[in-house]
Structure formats: structure tokens, C-alpha cells
Amino acid sequence: MAVSVIAATFAVTSAFMLPQNPAERIRLGEPVKITAEVMPATAQNTLYFENKYEIVTPFQTLTIEDDTMFLGDTVVATEGVDGVRQITERIGFRGGEEVYRAAIASTVLVEAIDKVILVGTNPAPRTTSYGEYHWPAEGKLESGFGRRSVAIGSRNHQGLDITGDKGDPIYAADGGVVITADSKMSGYGNLVRILHDNGDVTYYAHNSELLVAEGDLVYRGQQIAEMGRTGTASGIHCHFELRIDEVPVDPIGYLPER
């Protein structure tokens, strides 16, 4: 606020104020100094003046539980906005000395808006896709992704082969919905395909037994089949594929090290 404006408020000229208020402008909230000389007060009379200044009232942050959201998820529903409050204080001078100062009014100029954070409380369903994959079988990695020279099966290997014994458990690498549980795809034998929430599809081929059916919701780590050698397979193993946008990718980049 310009000194001249404040001077006008106090019915004095700027010249009386400037020596004690060297800044051309006085910031909000800063007390105003007025020289004793401008006070026509006698030692007996108290003169009162009003001084207004603004203060910021910081917004509060509220968290609200929301059972329509999954546990661990948070959403900012409302951004916080600081408020502004104008304080009017009454200042009394006697004989040039300040003898009285009290706030006499408080006016909200800008209402503070609370920040609201919604916090999910609904436990995620077990079939949820995490977007992170677990190994579908415990056995040794026998054959990796990519080109290879083999007597049986594809020369451009579109997945991983994990060996084991017949009947070993095959697990869903992540939660999702079973979109295939049959032996209709040539070469794959008894095949399970799972569609995950992010659109990725995983393949589990050559099983001896299928333990799920098309349409089943499965959770990560759920046993979905037993290892076998059905279809075109060089031995007992799980042929595992990960397809992103329908294109097979090397699952190694998406599986934890072991």
C-alpha cells in the first residue's frame, strides 16, 4: 500500500510519515509508524486511529475415506486455496506515545478452501492385475525368447520354456480373466490365456491338465494348470508368452530376477 494512501487514511500528509516509513510502499500486515509530531494530541488526550492490514489464512487439509476406491489409492478431490482476512486495529496515541492497540474487526476477504484428499479403503479384489508379473512355474528356464535352432517347434521362439515334471503347478503370472482354456490353438496343446487389466495377455501352453475355464477370474499366483507336453513340445515344460498390444515380447524383462 502506498504511503500516501495510508497518510490520507490517518488525515496527515505523507511528509509526516516518510521519515519513519522509508519505504515508498508498506507491505500488507506491516505496522504503520506515524511520527509523534503529527499528533496534535496533548499529554491529556488520546487520539485514536484505525489501521487495516491483511493476513493469509492457510487452507486446511482433510482426508476422507472412500470405500469406492481401492486401498492405497488417493485422489485430490479439491485443491486447497489460502484465504485472506482483513484485520482492522485501533491504535491510541497520547503525547506521541502509543498507549493502546487492539484489533476491532476481522473481515474475510477471500474464503479459504480446504484441500480434500480421498483415501481408498476398499481392499483390492484378488483378481486385480498388478501390472507386474510373477514366474508361472518354478522349474529351470530351458529356452529363452527369440531365434533358435530346434528340431521341433518354432524357430522364432515367442516365449520362454520352463521345465519341470508332469503335473507341476502352473500359476497365473498376474490377475485377470481367462480368455482361453482349451486346445484349439495349433501347437500350443492345452492352453490357458489370461487377459490382464492393462490389456496384456499371457499364454501358458503344453499343459497336461487345465484347472480353469474360459471366463474365470484368477488372481496372481493362482494355480491354473498342470505342466505337461501337449501340442508341439520338445519335452515337458511350460511355454509362457507375454503379449503387449498382441505382440509377443521377451517376458524376461517383465519377470523378477531369480
- Which chain residues interact with Zn ion by CB under 5 A? 161, 239
Give the start-end residues of each E strand in 58-200: 61-70, 74-78, 83-94, 97-110, 115-122, 141-143, 146-147, 156-157, 160-163, 169-171, 176-182, 190-195
Nearer of residues 89 and 161 to Zn ion, judged by Cβ:
161
Compute the C-alpha angle 190/199/187, nearest 5°.
25
Q: SS3 of 149, please?
A: coil
> Quick one: DSSP state of residue 215?
T
Which residue's CB atom is positioned nearest to Zn ion?
239
- Which one, 83 or 153, has the nearer CB to Zn ion? 153
Least Cβ distance, residue 132 to Zn ion (angstroms): 22
Shortest CB 76 distance to Zn ion, Å: 46
Q: How far is the CB of 81 from Zn ion (least distance, A)?
A: 58
In angstroms, give the least distance from the CB of 67 to Zn ion: 44
- Considering the complex, state which of residue 175 and residue 251 has its C-beta at the smaller distance from Zn ion: 251
DSSP conformation letters of 180-202: EEES-STTT-EEEEEE-TTS-EE
Judged by beta carbon, residue 7 or residue 238, the one nearer Zn ion is: 238
In the beta sheet, which residues pair with residue 192? Answer: 181, 204
Query: Can you read off the three cell numbers belonging to residue 230?
Result: 501337449
* Nearest approach, Cβ of residue 234 and Zn ion (Å): 8
b (16+ CB within 10 A) / e for 221-230: bbebbbbbbb
Place of cell 515334471: 165
Nearer to Zn ion, 196 or 206 (CB): 206
